[in-house]
Structure 1
Amino acid sequence: MSRPQWQGLLRAQWISSFRMARTPSRVPSARVAFSTSACRELMEMTGFTEEQLTVREAISHICSKFPNTFWQERDQQEKDPKEFHAALAKDGWLGIALPESLGGAGLGVSEATMMMQTITQSGAGMAGAQAIHANVYATQPLAKFGTKEQLETTIPNIINGTCRICFGVTEPNTGLETLKLKTLATKTTDGYSVTGQKIWITCAQVASKMILLARTTPLEEVMKSSEGLSMFCIDLNRDNPGLDMRKIKKMGGRAVDANEVFFDNYQIPANALIGEENQGFKIILHGMNAERCLLAGEALGLGYAALEKASQYAKDRVVFGRPIGQNQGVAHPLADAYMKLEAAKLATYHATRLYDTNDGSVPFQSIGVACNSAKYLAAEAAFTACERAVLAHGGMGYAMEYDVERYFRECLVPRIAPVSREMILNYVSEKVLELPRSY
């Protein structure tokens, strides 16, 4: 069956199951009552594809089963939203961008970005997105470069939710200098011995596997700085010696864990290697632009969710005999935030279209510029919307029950990860404006 035929069939199945499952009291309109925390669609929906709209419709239905109170409790208790992960896995959504041959949906980053935006906008915020983010993004290099054995034993279990995965790249002393990573995977008679430290590893406490980037050749021995790194798909076996994880207490997204992961001669088998040895940096590049798109979508959803809350509050809150939204001092900042989100939305889905163009007609640099620009603009627009939502609520914006304080804490993540605003500005300065490199 061809991809268009398959997509048509899948869409029909999604819509059929969605209509059968929903009831008028819960979901009165498929595309109007999208958010669990808002009564109407705030984002302009013109111009999206049928596949994107179908994804949005189906994901929003799943998210409606997890109200804001669920995410408030998970945030305050720092408790993993495993029920949410399981609900998405049950319907195969964790394989949205994985090949059909491996049990995935075979859709593109455009649809995956829409899924992630829908999740954050539902009220789940960044915590909901981060609960499945690695399953969507970190699996891309594995699906493209993994061996037949790796694919058959790992990918189906990721899609069905049996296996949760985390991504191990960042280190405390290298930060954005990926080419200078120090975690070392030394060859042994039957595999590799890993020693080093990774940091800010999301969901490591609940993951059973990690996609790991480690050095297999010392930096001083490589001809090019881009060589000497290798990618592995490893088991996180807590019973084996040489593995230690420590949770990091953090400002936002508390429902999902972030960790320091320590390896001390941790033994992994030879068949854990993904692709060729010493070519890990080239492999990881395959997914970097995709992740920027996903983060942009997540930021957009967070911004729209905050704006929906703020606009509703501005209509309901009466001071001096009139709704505060009637005052331009309240209305104009929210209107400005909306336009910023809409502009970032256009940049984001333009980037996903370029990324999904597989005929070679779009230069790699053009894709990189678009994806980095989208991530930057969406993160800034989300920050603006979340900050103004808190201010529009006044004192109640500081209260947990109104959600906007949680959104504000979480909106800092897209500004920082997976690449800082400043490095994106450096990239555009160099690649587009052809200015001298500053680092």
Structure 2
Amino acid sequence: MDFTLSEDHKTIDQSIRRICADFSDDYWTECEEKARFPHEYHRAMAEGGWLGITMPVELGGAGLGVTEAAVMMHAASSSGGGYTAASAIHINLFGPHAIVVHGTAEQKARWLTPLIKGEQKACFGVTEPDAGLDTTSISTFARKVDGGYRVTGRKMWTSSGQVADKIVLLARTTLKADSARPTDGMSLFYTDLDRTKIEVRRIHKMGRNGVDSNAVFIDDIFIPDEDLIGEEGKGFSYVLHSLNPERVLVASEAIGLGRDALNRAATYARERVVFGRPIGQNQGIQHPLAECWAFLESAYWMTLRAGSLYDSGEACGAEANAAKFLAGRAAFNACTQAVLTHGGMGYAREYQVERLFRESILMRIAPVTEQLILSFLAEKVLGLPKSY
């Protein structure tokens, strides 16, 4: 059993860090304060060929697995940009998964090539204000008409909708009451984000303001038949296929965020002198930081295990969910301790840890809550009765 990164993994890590080195703390502070998408960073990742790391080789992608993508995203989030840096390119790695698996050759060429080149950006429209994590209860409806569908509905927490050209959209094509099972009757589309028919309203939020989150209002938009992914009515199963990879990626991003905060705290503790000695010489500072390292390290290897299982075609639901749970907690605790280590200066934007702290709470909430993960593990691993 090998617990070391391969040479290819190390190369990915080093290559991403070289790109990220061109984007300073000041750059990420500006994106945060001006709520501006990091277009320059996104372009640099595209020019380096990294937006296609999981995409088919024949379309210009690298054709690599979730494990390699996790290594990439860990490097991105741990290099100063935090969860903003990860979120700016995250959709490229998991959002089009259904297209890769279920799209036609024509759809893949038409949709994935511009994403790989960085010529287009996409957003993901699944969550709804009245459904939340109960995806079977979404109400956005796609009514079949000649040549396509007429779609009306609402979506919530749609990231990068302000800058996106396309939207991955989950909608009901059969009412839940008329479906044989609650998970039936949903279809997945990839279509133009037509702003004459779709209002994208920005949500003002605590952190990660360089990548927008939105409430989306869809008013009778026409989606042509050729923008349907796979078969009508099977959209929920297509979305499920991408959930475990997303859990792995979010976990790796959270760990990168936490490690960056921890490194900043350790540096400050070595350099900050109070009462004639560095504060890092005090066990009251040392022990919490060392504990953060231990939890981040354990979460990291659970994440890589989950990614390895997925890439090997083995079941990984428990491991992917556990990785996301552990990573979210570990990142939040590391960022919290980083602020406390800095004392009053941890509250100042100059030292960056307050920005990382504000971002860290998000990984405990999204894309799935800790409570739902624990309910899943209790049922699927421990054999307890389903609670939801």
TM range (shorter): over 0.9
CA distance in 2, matches of 1:46, 1:429: 27
Residue number among 37, 50, 71 corresponding to 1:80 in the alignment: 37
Residue number among 98, 101, 104 corresponding to 2:58 in the alignment: 101
Across the two proteins, how many residue pairs are aligned to each other? 387
Give the equivalent residue in structure 1 for 2:171: 214
Amino acid at match of 1:152: A
1:300 aligns to 2:255 (yes or no):
yes
Q: Could you list the per-position Cα deviations for residues 361-394 of structure 1 after superposition, in whole angstroms to 9, with x for gaps in the alignment?
A: x3x3xx0001000000011000110000000000
Give the equivalent residue in structure 1 for 2:297: 342
1:377 aligns to 2:332 (yes or no):
no
Residue number among 156, 172, 179 corresponding to 2:129 in the alignment: 172
CA distance in 1, matches of 2:119, 2:194: 15
Measured after TM superposition, the shift of residue 110 of structure 1 is 0.4
Amino acid at match of 1:396: M
Q: Could you list the per-position Cα deviations for residues 277-325 of structure 1 after superposition, in whole angstroms to 9, with x for gaps in the alignment?
A: 0000111111100000000000000000000000000010000110001
8 Å contact from structure 1 (residues 200, 258) kept in 2: yes
Give the equivalent residue in structure 2 for 1:60: 17
CA distance in 2, matches of 1:287, 1:52: 22
CA distance in 2, matches of 1:50, 1:227: 44
Measured after TM superposition, the shift of residue 101 of structure 1 is 2.1
Amino acid at match of 1:399: A
Moved over 3 A (4+): none
Q: Could you list the per-position Cα deviations for residues 226-255 of structure 1 after superposition, in whole angstroms to 9, with x for gaps in the alignment?
A: 1000000010122x3x21110000101011
Give the equivalent residue in structure 2 for 1:272: 227
1:422 aligns to 2:377 (yes or no):
no
Give the equivalent residue in structure 1 for 2:78: 121
Give the equivalent residue in structure 2 for 1:246: 201
Measured after TM superposition, the shift of residue 102 of structure 1 is 2.1
CA distance in 1, matches of 2:205, 2:104: 37
8 Å contact from structure 1 (residues 135, 166) kept in 2: no
CA distance in 1, matches of 2:79, 2:115: 24
8 Å contact from structure 1 (residues 183, 197) kept in 2: yes
1:317 aligns to 2:272 (yes or no):
yes
SS in structure 1 of the partner of residue 10 of structure 2 = helix
Amino acid at match of 2:29: Q
1:204 aligns to 2:161 (yes or no):
yes
Q: Could you list the per-position Cα deviations for residues 379-419 of structure 1 after superposition, in whole angstroms to 9, with x for gaps in the alignment?
A: 10001100000000000000001010000000011111110
CA distance in 2, matches of 1:421, 1:278: 29
CA distance in 2, matches of 1:413, 1:162: 28
Residue number among 282, 289, 308 corresponding to 2:237 in the alignment: 282
Measured after TM superposition, the shift of residue 46 of structure 1 is 6.5
Give the equivalent residue in structure 2 for 1:22: none
SS in structure 2 of the partner of residue 350 of structure 1 = helix
Q: Could you list the per-position Cα deviations for residues 208-235 of structure 1 after superposition, in whole angstroms to 9, with x for gaps in the alignment?
A: 0011111000000000111000000010
1:395 aligns to 2:352 (yes or no):
no
8 Å contact from structure 1 (residues 138, 211) kept in 2: yes
Residue number among 325, 331, 354 corresponding to 1:405 in the alignment: 354
Q: What stretches of structure 2 of length at least 5 have no aligned partner?
A: none
Residue number among 145, 150, 153 corresponding to 2:107 in the alignment: 150
1:226 aligns to 2:183 (yes or no):
yes
1:192 aligns to 2:145 (yes or no):
no
TM-score by length of 1: 0.87
CA distance in 2, matches of 1:270, 1:233: 10
8 Å contact from structure 1 (residues 197, 261) kept in 2: yes
8 Å contact from structure 1 (residues 202, 258) kept in 2: yes
CA distance in 1, matches of 2:98, 2:279: 50
Give the equivalent residue in structure 1 for 2:138: 181
SS in structure 2 of the partner of residue 192 of structure 1 = strand
CA distance in 2, matches of 1:410, 1:434: 34
What is the CA RMSD across the aligned residues, in angstroms?
Answer: 1.0
SS in structure 1 of the partner of residue 158 of structure 2 = strand
TM-score by length of 2: 0.98
CA distance in 1, matches of 2:317, 2:209: 31
Measured after TM superposition, the shift of residue 86 of structure 1 is 0.4
CA distance in 1, matches of 2:236, 2:288: 43
Identity of aligned residues (%): 48
Q: Could you list the per-position Cα deviations for residues 166-221 of structure 1 after superposition, in whole angstroms to 9, with x for gaps in the alignment?
A: 11100001000011111001111121111100010000111100111110000000
SS in structure 2 of the partner of residue 107 of structure 1 = coil
SS in structure 1 of the partner of residue 220 of structure 2 = strand
SS in structure 2 of the partner of residue 202 of structure 1 = coil
CA distance in 2, matches of 1:75, 1:397: 17
